[in-house]
């Protein structure tokens, strides 16, 4: 018989960093929710295309990522 118990982490004080890394629209200052698309510019640089739902302004951000060495 399976134990019916929710396994939850108890670090309730840790709130999600919501909105911290998300850009805001340069035109209407609305916060972006999700990138439209993303693309690798190189091995460790990702670009994100953002489009503002409010005013339609689009822009691209670039983020450097660390390569994962899996072997």
Give yes or no for residue 28 binding Zn ion (CB under 5 A).
yes
Give yes or no for residue 55 binding Zn ion (CB under 5 A).
yes
Which of 31, 38, 44, 54: binder of Zn ion (CB under 5 A)? 54
CA–CA separation, 60 vs 23, rounded Å? 10
CA–CA separation, 65 vs 21, rounded Å? 14
Stretch that binds Zn ion, among 4-12, 13-21, 32-40, 46-54 (CB under 5 A): 46-54
Total residues binding Zn ion (CB under 5 A)? 8
* Nearest by Cα to 28 from 59, 58, 54, 61: 54
Q: How far is the CB of 37 from Zn ion (least distance, A)?
A: 18
Give yes or no for residue 26 binding Zn ion (CB under 5 A).
no
CB atoms within 10 A of CB 53: 13
């Amino acid at each position: 018989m399976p134990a019916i118990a929710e396994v939850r982490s108890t670090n309730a004080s840790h709130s999600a960093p919501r909105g911290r890394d998300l850009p805001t629209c340069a035109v209407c200052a609305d916060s972006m929710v999700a990138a439209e698309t993303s693309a690798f510019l190189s091995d460790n640089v990702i670009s994100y295309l953002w489009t503002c739902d409010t005013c339609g302004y689009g822009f691209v951000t670039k983020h450097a990522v660390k390569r994962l060495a899996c072997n």
